[in-house]
Amino acid sequence: MTNDILNAIREKLKDVFTDLRSCEVHPGRFTLKELKSTSAKSPAARVSCLGTAKNINMANGQVKSEKQFVVYFVTKDKSGLSKDDAIRNLVDDMTLLLDSDMTRWLPGTGAPSNVKDDNLYSSEIDRQGVMLWAVSWRQTITLGDDQFIEDGTIPTEIYAGPNDGTYEKL
């Protein structure tokens, strides 16, 4: 499910941010080393899942898993638009996208929460002639299948008992 969502985010970014020269799923945090190979393809976006904030067992075969997603944006100066202005435009537009209904990437995903953006400027990054920002958020996804709604039948009888295999109808 996480892979499906990362791919759905990537495809949505390609649709919304048509000026991106590169938009890919990335395996983790975006480092200076990776930045050097990406900066030639600017503006660029890298989508990643940084981990799980918490899991809630729903006791039905499903887990609600709160994932932390991030999109890294990379820009460089181009005619008529500085790298600073370009990246702030991308970050603002991404924030608006996350606040829209278009972020229910797939069935079973909740609305984004805890949206924040970070300017990852450093002198090393500046020497590469680029800007790097990250927009991150948390989003709950549903893992697994609900064991109780397989065919839509609702039980009409309830049984209870000790956990030894003996049960009585209530």
pTM for this predicted structure: 0.83
Q: Which of 27, 40, 37, 123 is nearest to 70 (CA)?
A: 27
Mean pLDDT of 29-41: 80
Single out the residue of 39, 132, 31 nearest to residue 90, CA to CA: 132
Query: Which domain CATH number covers 56?
Result: 3.30.2000.10
Instruction: Tell how far CA 147 is from the center of its chain.
Output: 27
Range of the domain at 101: 2-169
pLDDT digit string, tens, across residues 154-167: 667 777 777 777 77
pLDDT > 80? residue 30 = yes
Q: Tens of pLDDT along 106-129?
A: 788 899 999 999 999 999 999 999
**Number of neighbours of residue 158 by Cβ within 10 angstroms:** 8
Does 81 or 60 have the greater pLDDT score?
Answer: 81
Identify whether the C-beta of residue 32 lies closer than 8 Å to the C-beta of residue 125: yes
Mean confidence (pLDDT) of the chain: 88
Better pLDDT: 34 or 81: 81
Structural domains in the chain (count): 1
What does the pLDDT read at residue 100?
A: 85
